[in-house]
Amino acid sequence: MTLKSKTVAFATVSIIFLVAQMIFLRQDTSSVISSVEGLANERLPQLEKAHDMKVAVIQVQQWLTDISATRGLDGLNDGFDVAAENADLFRKRSQELIQLDPVNASFYKELLPVFEEYYLAGQVMAEGYVAGGPATGNLMMADFDTAAEAIYGRIDELMAKHTANTQAALKAAIASGKNAQNSSMLFTALLAILMLLLISGLHFFVLKPIVRMHDLVEELGKGDGDLSKRLPENKKDEIGDLAISFNHFLAKTDNTVAGVMKSVVRLIPMANELESNNNHVQDRIMKQNEQSQKVHACMDTTRAAADSVASAVERISSASTQGYERVQHGVEIVVKSSHTMDQLASRVGSSEETIKRLRESGERIEGVIDVISNIAEQTNLLALNAAIEAARAGEAGRGFAVVADEVRSLAGKTHESTAEVQAMVESIRKETQEVIGIMQESAEEARASQALVEASRGSLDEINGAIMHIRSCSEEILEAISLQGENFTRVESNFELMDEYFRETLKSGQLTISFGDDLKSLSAKLQDLISTFKVTDSDWSTKEREKPRMGEDIELF
């Protein structure tokens, strides 16, 4: 699998994972919003209107009972009007609930006749007290109590239904919030694992092999010249191909330099022998001429090998250029990943705003509950006042006292119910605050992931620098080979000069001595040039032969 394929695979998996996370997070957030909107727009208005109906029933009983106690005297005769206003409020809220809650429309329609019967019984009772006093009104009290019991039973049933519906909606909203929290934590953990795997893969498959290659090239550049070292070739990607090509270059250079070393090392004893056997130069000049021609041919072969080395180095430079382009492509992918992380952070911020709106809805619910609690307390005070009035009425107000106690009991239950609902809303608020904290942590982790992506981009920039260093080393090698070619040209020139010397030596043996000195000096220079290299094949000898060299046994190495 190539390095490009690995990079594309890692990037594809990361993008797919991020898209999936955004989709699931959007679905969970939409579910939470839907639950809260249903609670705020449907359940709470229904509960408020049901409570208004209950308060209207209580107010009708309260004011009609006050008329029974005061008998409609001047200044105390507004009970019928206030009771009528509350009766109208009951009817209005009933019609509104029929529109808001069509599922229970039949229940609201059945409730209206019961209320009308209750209201009529209360009016008849109050008019009886006004017209005939307690003697007449007490006879009608039983009918009013029966009607009141019927309407309160239906009202309690109505409140129970709406309370249950509201609690169910609250539980659904809580469940949706927990699901969103769990999904966010899971995807965040998976994203962290994926980023860790990506960084590990870059380290083992890209950075580590490139560091090895960099170390080897750096050793060559420092002047150690150890051509026997090789890069590992176990990678099946572009880095492995580069290692193979570089090893081929080292092997060819190793063989070439080893051959040159052997030739140069053997030239030194040849020069020494030439100097020591100067008296026999005239007899062996022709053989030496033939030997020099062989050396010239060997130098031509060496020059061709050097040209091959130059070609290999040019291929390495070309491969380095391709590697640079591919790493640049990797940088572009990392930039795209950075943009994707920015979008993820933006999505998490939007989720935080949505949950903040959920918290604000909870605060509005608390305000409504406070209003209900205040109404319950007011009802309790009214019931207490009614009980006091009943006590003043004596035996005639006993029934009214019973009703007042019942009203106080209902007010107490209402207060307890609002306390429970307020506790539930407080629990929702706390859990919403926890969700906000978690979303903030998710945003921090997304920003941390973005920092890791930026770090990866920096690593790729370092890789680019290493590749450019390889290209620079390749250019230096080409320059060295070019210099070596110039030296070969000089050697060829010297060999041409040697030919002239050979021809002149036939006339003068003194020229042979000069040629030996020149050959010895040139060999020393060549040995100095290649002595910095370490090659694999270093099996050669520098000692002189004990026997004089004959024309047929002259050898270069």
pLDDT tens by residue, 358-383: 777 777 877 877 877 788 778 878 77
Tokens of 392: 């003043």
442 and 191 Cβ atoms separated by less than 8 Å:
no
**Distance in angstroms (rounded) separating the CA atoms of residues 526 and 548:** 25
**Strand intervals (E) in 271-342:** none
Stretches in the chain below the pLDDT threshold 50:
556-557
Q: What is the pLDDT of residue 96?
A: 92
Helix or strand (DSSP H, E) at 316: helix 281-393
Side chain identity at residue 414, one-letter code: T
Q: What is the pLDDT of residue 93?
A: 92
**CB within 8 A of 506, min separation 6: which ones?**
285
Q: What is the pLDDT of residue 40?
A: 65
Phi, psi angle pair for 226, to nearest 5°: -80, 95
511 and 274 Cβ atoms separated by less than 8 Å:
no
Helix or strand (DSSP H, E) at 46: helix 44-70
351 and 473 Cβ atoms separated by less than 8 Å:
no
Residue 548: DSSP 8-state: P
Q: What is the pLDDT of residue 86?
A: 93
Q: What is the pLDDT of residue 557?
A: 46
**Distance in angstroms (rounded) separating the CA atoms of residues 260 and 110:** 115
Domain tally, the chain = 1
385 and 403 Cβ atoms separated by less than 8 Å:
no
DSSP alpha helix (H) spans, 203-280: 208-221, 238-276
User: Does any domain span residue 471?
Assistant: yes
Q: How many CA atoms lie within 13 A of 58 on its CB side?
A: 26
Side chain identity at residue 114, one-letter code: V
**Distance in angstroms (rounded) separating the CA atoms of residues 342 and 22:** 12
User: Does any domain span residue 443?
Assistant: no
Tokens of 208: 């580590």
**Strand intervals (E) in 472-545:** none
User: Does any domain span residue 548?
Assistant: yes
Tokens of 292: 């020099």
**Distance in angstroms (rounded) separating the CA atoms of residues 179 and 30:** 11
- Bridge partner residues of 534 (DSSP): 226
**CB within 8 A of 552, min separation 6: which ones?**
287
Residue with tokens 């009980």: 387
Residue 245 CA: distances (Å) to CA of 311, 314, 320: 12, 11, 11
User: Does any domain span residue 239?
Assistant: yes
| Helices 281-393 and 44-70, axial angle in degrees (round to 10) | 10
Q: What is the pLDDT of residue 95?
A: 92
Closest C-alpha to 373, from 322, 414, 325: 414
Q: What is the pLDDT of residue 459?
A: 74
For residue 240, give its domain range. Answer: 209-327+463-553
For 67-131, the DSSP string reads HHHHTT-TTS--HHHHHHHHHHHHHHHHHHHHHH-GGGHHHHHHHHHHHHHHHHHHHHHHHHHHH
Tokens of 274: 């030439």
The count of residues in the chain is 557
User: Does any domain span residue 396?
Assistant: no
Residue with tokens 């004990």: 546
**Distance in angstroms (rounded) separating the CA atoms of residues 342 and 356:** 21
Helix or strand (DSSP H, E) at 202: helix 134-202
> With the C-alpha atoms ordered 336, 339, 344, 347, is the resulting torsion angle positive or negative?
negative
User: Does any domain span residue 263?
Assistant: yes
Tokens of 364: 């509005």
Residue 22 CA: distances (Å) to CA of 26, 35, 188, 346, 434: 6, 20, 11, 11, 20
User: Does any domain span residue 532?
Assistant: yes
Q: How far is CA 157 from the centre of its chain?
A: 52
Tokens of 161: 């239904």
Tokens of 54: 């209950």
379 and 410 Cβ atoms separated by less than 8 Å:
yes
Tokens of 96: 């509104």
Q: What is the pLDDT of residue 348?
A: 66
Tokens of 26: 């959007």
User: Does any domain span residue 26?
Assistant: no
323 and 467 Cβ atoms separated by less than 8 Å:
yes
